[in-house]
Amino acid sequence: MQELLLEVKDLEINFYTYRGVVRALNGVNLRINKGEFFGLVGETGCGKSVTASAILNLVQNPGRIEKGEIIFKGIDILKMSKEEIRKDIRGKEITMIMQYPIAALNPVINNGEQISEALIANIDITKNEAEKRTIELLKEVNIPEPEKIARQYPHQLSGGMAQRVMIAMMLSTKPSLLIADEPTTALDVSIQAQVLNLLKDLVVKYNTTILLITHDLSVVAETCERVGVMYAGDMVEIGELKHIIDNPKHPYTRGLINAIPSEKRTKLQEIKGSVPDLVNPPSGCRFHPRCTFAKSVCKQKKPQMLEVEKNHLVSCYLYDGQK
């Protein structure tokens, strides 16, 4: 039986901007089990990174969490004080790697010291032990000449090497959940594959759980066991990777898959229209202006998530027998 690690319940987040209220998350639900490699996929602006920020309780002004719960190991993170989150959760139980590692690393501290500092700040360890463990961590993320890299500064690293340093730092506290937000987007294709393979190996080695956020369904197909597809602030489909890739149910997921180049596909199909402005999102199913199957109910009410096969959930009236 799988153990539930994280549950996001009915999460609603708005951003109060000069242009109006951006309805960024529209009641998102998500469950991630311990030891899973879970992928969250969707176009830019669909709410993936906002969801990740909320999991770390990092949604900043003008953003506001309007309602919902984020239950991590049985405790609602949103009810914890800033101090409790800083002390017990962020950087310890949940860590995050970003798209641009060189920008995320401190430019004036050498790579080794940055990892040692993370160790000393979060676990009971002496300076000497932290320095030794830093070299071990750099070896574990396949960095050649780890002692040399430890003495260097972030600007001396390639993008792929900087991402490995970042991964070493974020794994240093053996977190229960590692959030990887577009970790390979800024890297060359061959380096992307190396970083994804490294993350896959580390899930097993560290018995950690990974939430991979990406706009690229082919990245998810390389790595994840389960996938959530988001569109315009809604979770529209969740299922095991093989269900999502081989038997997608939601018209948006089908559109995403038809847009991926493959040997079988001679012509790529685009999804008609464009992502809506979330200051004034479409009523009902937010995908309805772009959906060739839209019917009148789709414009009136948001469809519920329904289980269409075991562990495969879809939010679409095509599968709601009552409509």
- Residues of the shown chain interacting with ligand SF4 in the complex, contacts defined by CB under 6 A: 250-251, 285, 287-288, 291, 293-294, 298, 303, 316-318
Residue with smaller CB distance to ligand SF4, 140 or 237 = 237
Pairing state between β 94-97 and 75-76: unpaired
> Nearest to residue 192, comparing CAs of 182, 206, 201?
182
CB of residue 259 vs ligand SF4: minimum separation in angstroms?
16
Q: Dig out the tokens for 35 from the structure.
A: 């030891």
Residue with smaller CB distance to ligand SF4, 15 or 287 = 287
CB of residue 138 vs ligand SF4: minimum separation in angstroms?
47
Q: Dig out the tokens for 279 from the structure.
A: 């200051």
How many H helices and E strands in the chain? 12, 12
Residue with smaller CB distance to ligand SF4, 98 or 271 = 271
Residue with smaller CB distance to ligand SF4, 119 or 278 = 278
138 contact partners, CB below 8 Å, separation of at least 6 = 111, 112, 115, 146, 149, 150, 164, 165, 168
How many Å apart are CA 251 and CA 42, to the nearest integer? 13
Are residues 107 and 153 in contact, defined by beta-carbon separation less than 8 angstroms?
A: yes
Residue with smaller CB distance to ligand SF4, 132 or 302 = 302
CB of residue 306 vs ligand SF4: minimum separation in angstroms?
11
CB of residue 283 vs ligand SF4: minimum separation in angstroms?
11
CB of residue 200 vs ligand SF4: minimum separation in angstroms?
32
Chain position carrying tokens 């641009």: 100
Residues in the chain, total: 323
